[in-house]
Every structure is written in C-alpha cells, then in structure tokens.
Amino acid sequence: MRLTKSNAEISVKVIAGLEVVLFGLNIPEADKDRLLGFKIQKKVGNGYILLSDGRKFANSQDSIIQDFLWGDYSVDPNTTYTYKINAVYGTPNNTEESETIQLQVTTENPKDHEHAVFFNRGVAGSQAYSKKFKKYRKWYKTEALEEDSSKIRYKQFIKPEDVPNGEAYKWLSRGLEEALIDFIGKAKDKSYSIRASLYELSYVPAAQAFVDALERGVDVKIIHHAKRKTSYKMSRNSNAKTTINYTDGTKDLTFSGELKKLRVPEGITTTAMKTIAKVGVTDPKHWRAFSKMLIQRTNTTISHNKFILLLKDGKPVELWTGSTNITYGGIFGQSNIGHIVRDEAIAQKYLEYWNKLSEDPIKTKRGSDPNLTAMKNWIAENNPNLDDIPPNSIHAIFSPRKDLDMLQWYADQINKAKESVFFTAAFSMDDKLLNVLKNNSASAQGAFQRYLLLEGITGLMRDKYPLLRQSGQNRIAYGAQLKRRKGIEHTDVAIETLTGLNDHVNYIHTKYLLVDALSDDPVVISGSANFSEASTKDNDENMLIIRGNTRIADMFICDFMRLFNHFKRRNDSNKLTDAQYLAHDHLDPGSQWVVPYFTADDQLEQQRLLFGTDVV
C-alpha cells in the first residue's frame, strides 16, 4: 500500500510491503538548518515505542532518526500499525517538535490478490543474527584447502544447524521456507498435480513435502538438472599395462590395469537423486510413481529453473517461481525470493514450457525443424521476443533463446527509466547492461536514482565496478560484513558471521530489475535468470515481466531497500578510519548530517526527493 500525509511542518510518504514499512520524510527547506532529526513512534499494546538505529547523542540516552528514509523491519504481513511522526529541531538538550502526523499502515496480505512474494532474511552477516545466536558461534576449518595442510585456514560461522529447535532456520527463513512447504501442501488429493523444474534439490523437508503429496495421490513430476561430466577410473586388466610417471623423481609405478573414460552424473544431479531416495515412501503401492517422480534434464548447459506448478483437475492454477534453489543455502543463506502467481493464463504458459522440457529436447537443431523438436526453435515459435508491453500486463519469458534480443530489451528498459531503477546482480553484469548503467540517463525526469545491489565488487566485477561509479546516478551497495576493528571495544557491537551454508554466493542471489517502481506505472522483472548471455542463450530459465502493478512493485521496493540499506551502511562504515568510526557511532548534535540531503544533485538529495513528498 501507498499512503501520503503532510502538514505545514513535515510530510510522510509510506510504502508498505509484506514485512517492511518504508517512510519517506521531508520538511520545508527553510527549516533544514535547525533540524536535529525525526521521531517515529509505533504503537505496541497500549503504548508507543521509539524506532531508531541504536545510535544516541554523546553523553545522552536520547535516540532519534537522522535520515530522510527509514524502514520498520519488525512488522508482520496483513497487520495494521499506528505510527506517530515528528520532526525534531534544536539541540539535544533543548528540543522542539513539529506538529505530529499520525497514520495507520496495513501491510500486504500474501494469501489474497494475484501475487505474493516471500523474501528470506538474506542478512545472516548482521548484528541481529550475531547477537541473537552468538553463543553458537564456532571456528570451522575451510574445506577447500584441506589437501594442503600447510594452508588450512579457520573461519567463524554461526551455523543454523547448531542452534536448537530450528530457531536460527526460522529466523533466517523469514517465511520463505514456510511459504514453499505450504505451496506444495496445497496439492491435497488425487485431483491435484504438481509439475516442477528445479536446478537443485537438496533440502530434505521440501523433498518430503513432494513425496507426501505423492502419497496423497497427487501426480508429482520434477524435472531436475542432470548433466554428465567426464571421469576416469582405473580398472584391473591382466592384458594391459599402465605406467604412472612421477614428476618428483619417484620411481615409476607399473601395474596391470587400464584407465577407463566414463560419463558420470554431476554432483547436483546425484544430490537430488539421493535427497529423494533418502525420503522414501511409506506404502509400497506408491513405489512406481515414486520411481518416476524425477525427470532428468540432460540436453542443456544448466537446467537453472526454480518453478513449481500446481494443477487442479489437470488445469494449471498457481505458479511458484523466483530465485530460490531448493537447498539449505538457497532458503536460509543468500538473499532469495519465492514468488507465487495466481494467474491461470501465465500458469498455462509455464505448463506448456514444462511439457516441452520434460521431453529433454536438444538446444539447437540445424536446418529445417518443422516439428520444433529443438528447445530454441520451440521457444522462438511459442515465446517470441517482446517489443513493447501494454499497461497492466504480465508476460513470461523462457530460455534458451536463439538471440540476445531480450537481454538488450532489459538494457533498453533501464535506459528508458524516468525516475528510478532498482537492480540486483548476483555474479557479474553483462556488457549490454553495463554500457547503459555506466552513463547518465538521458530519460531522467526530475529526481532520479539507480540503485544497484551487487554480490561483490571483486572477481568478475573488479573492472566493472569503477565504470558503474562513473555515473552519479548510480547508488551502489554490495555484500559485506562489518569490519572487525582491533583495539576498539563496543559492548553493543557483535562479530558478524555467516551461516556457512553457501560456497560461491554469500549475500545476493536474487535476479530482479525494477523500473520506475515508485511511479503509477512500474515494471517488475524477476525470475531465475542472471541477466546474462548464458542465461539468455544457453540455460533453461524463466522470467516474469509485470507492468502497472504497484502492489507487487511495493513489495519488491520495500525488501530491496531493506537489503540495500543494510549493506550500504556496512560499505560506508568499513571505509572509515578508526577515529571516524568512533565519531560515527553517535548522532550528530547539530544539523551537519542534513547538508547532503539539500545539496543539489547529491545522491541523498535525490533519494529524499524520490521517496518523499512535498510539505503542504
């Protein structure tokens, strides 16, 4: 929901998602030199609590907000909250408050409407996680270096498996795991069917949910990534001689045997099969259905989809999609989303795509392919590239595709943005998008900002990050934990640790792009694809493009800014010297903090104008 309210002294623009309420604040420019901050109070029971980031004035217990954009992250879905908001002027010892704005805000209900989006916590490396479960922090040996004992390293983690009663898992899930299991559980009896296409399947409770559905009589079929890799095995053979030559001068070893080249399943493939096998069935009458539940997808680069279809009486009725791999790391570690779509037309398109995938078609067939047996040919015929999209519409885009036109289309949407872009990048950034984002937008109208949330700025992003910084329209945050500072003790600051659940992507795994999301005509693009050449031309992928739905845009904006602000504060803090860090630990007793919010073209000024509204 969106709500604005103002008086002569202060204005508030509210955006409410499922579990986040954002407040865009503003005051008359004439009052900026005496502004101390804002007071936001939330009604709890019969009284009010004061929201803050924990910082206080030096030698004082008073705490207010020194920012023009604030988020309440302690809210539940489908709940109404009452807030009181004031601007605070003067000095810490002599304050004056503006006229109060009071408003009621209702968060979104995930159980109705066309869309529901569930965001996991995505911030294991946080003060909240580290303080809440600090007694379970341990040192672990890094497995990647085990073969060389001289290079063994140790790292601290708070592994959720070490926390009793699943408390850490529940906190990290933030409703994502529960929504996934509930979605599978909607298949109540034999009148239902489930059709899924999953890259990874190692989370046992989800596998159990699929098997439970199967034992209720539900027809369950799961396409999974099942590529083969080359392996070699030494076999005994008295008629063959094999010699091993050692480069360190050790005597050569000769024995009766031969080296055989094998094609064996990749680890992801065997993990899915072992996970399902581990669950088993309780009644032998389900053995046949159980043995046919998994369908191997071999003729692709990566079968990267993460979607589940719910069918009733053979008709597709609901879709689960998004970025979440069905793994412990996908659900509880790195940031991810699960997106429920209650649109039968879209679900039907996904079913047609699933039916084609289930045949395990090759990617490309040269020459004539009148029966569209190859995946790219079928997609070109049944899921053509988009040109323009009409208002208030939703579209599904599938891969692998014959060309990169859709990737260019995404870059064009960024280039045409008028007021805002919100973009997440889990790995790298394709040059088509980079070429747009490294320059200022010619389409910008008034307040304009592009928010880029990156997994990191090293590796594949090392050379691209400086190019992105060239444009002052790009406000960038990237995955990080608070830096440990030797010799600086803070009783209220915890050592931040991760979960140990992820190997390659620790922070940002979502794949979505929001264009003009704060307007009345937003575009939301989200799914499994990483906005890359590989995800467009090589992999099995799915994306949703939704135009004109402010409700779905609000849910995405709220959680995007929750993560963005979380990491941006860490990025900024980690760049401070120890002296600057200690000073930043307290609120500004004056109005110096206000200056950038009223400095022409400063990113914080643009943010104030973008999220706020004028004072009446």
Amino acid at 485: R
Q: Say how far apart CA 323 and CA 589 lie, in whole Å.
A: 44
Q: What was the pLDDT predicted at 491?
A: 59
Asked if residue 144 has pLDDT above 70, the reply is no
Asked if residue 61 has pLDDT above 90, the reply is no
- Strands (E) across 29-119 are located at 35-44, 47-50, 69-72, 80-91, 94-97, 101-106, 115-119
What is the arithmetic mean of pLDDT over 223-252? 76
Count of H-run helices and E-run strands, the chain:
16, 27
Asked if residue 452 has pLDDT above 90, the reply is yes
What is the arithmetic mean of pLDDT over 134-138? 93
Helices assigned H by DSSP within 438-475 = 464-468
Q: Say how far apart CA 398 and CA 305 lie, in whole Å.
A: 10
Structure tokens at 65: 């907000």
CA 558 vs CA 241, 490, 562: distances in Å: 66, 30, 6
Parse the chain into domains and list their residue ranges: 2-106, 115-122+174-227+267-357, 230-264, 379-611
Q: What was the pLDDT predicted at 145?
A: 46
Q: Are 424 and 510 in contact (CB under 8 A)?
A: yes
Question: 536: how many CB neighbours lie within 10 A of its CB?
Answer: 26
Query: Which is more confidently placed, 325 or 580?
Result: 325
pLDDT tens digits, one per residue of 523-537: 999 999 999 999 999
Look-up: residue for tokens 């939330």? 42
Q: Are 55 and 37 in contact (CB under 8 A)?
A: no
Give percent of the chain with pLDDT exceeding 90: 82
Asked if residue 58 has pLDDT above 60, the reply is yes
Structure tokens at 530: 């990483």
What is the arithmetic mean of pLDDT over 50-54? 92
What is the arithmetic mean of pLDDT over 274-285? 94
Q: What was the pLDDT predicted at 317?
A: 98
Q: Are 68 and 611 in contact (CB under 8 A)?
A: yes
Asked if residue 494 has pLDDT above 50, the reply is yes
List, edge to edge, every strand of the sheet that includes 474-478.
393-399, 541-547, 523-527, 512-515, 420-425, 449-454, 474-478
pLDDT tens digits, one per residue of 108-134: 999 989 999 999 999 988 999 999 999
Average pLDDT over the chain, rounded to an integer: 93
Helices assigned H by DSSP within 28-160 = 127-132
Q: What is the CATH number of domain 379-611?
A: 3.30.870.10
pLDDT tens digits, one per residue of 25-41: 999 999 999 999 999 99
Structure tokens at 611: 């999220």
Q: What was the pLDDT predicted at 149?
A: 54
Q: What was the pLDDT predicted at 232?
A: 67
SS3 letters across 379-420: HHHHCCCCCCCCCCEEEEEEECCCCCHHHHHHHHHHHCCCCE
Asked if residue 146 has pLDDT above 70, the reply is no
Q: Say how far apart CA 481 and CA 507 lie, in whole Å.
A: 10
Weakest mean pLDDT among 56-70, 333-347, 504-518, 549-563 = 56-70
pLDDT tens digits, one per residue of 396-423: 999 999 999 999 999 999 999 999 999 9
Residues in CB range of 429: below 8 A, 6 or more apart: 437, 454, 461, 464, 468, 531
Q: Are 197 and 169 in contact (CB under 8 A)?
A: no
Asked if residue 595 has pLDDT above 60, the reply is yes
pLDDT tens digits, one per residue of 162-217: 999 999 999 999 999 999 999 999 999 999 999 999 999 999 999 999 999 999 99
What is the arithmetic mean of pLDDT over 375-379? 96
The sign one gets for the Cα dihedral 570, 571, 575, 576 is negative
Name the pairing type of β-strands 219-225 and 101-106: unpaired
Q: What is the CATH number of domain 2-106?
A: 2.60.40.10
Looking at the whole model, is its pTM more than 0.75? yes
Asked if residue 288 has pLDDT above 70, the reply is yes
Give percent of the chain with pLDDT exceeding 70: 95
CATH of 115-122+174-227+267-357, one of 3.40.50.1440, 3.30.870.10, 1.10.390.10, 3.40.30.110: 3.30.870.10
- DSSP characters over 483-527: PP-TT---TT-PPP-B-S--SS-SSB---EEEESTTSSS-EEEEE
The reply to whether 2-106 and 115-122+174-227+267-357 are identical in fold is no
Cis peptide before 361 (omega within 30 of 0): no
Q: What was the pLDDT predicted at 31?
A: 96
The sign one gets for the Cα dihedral 259, 260, 265, 266 is positive
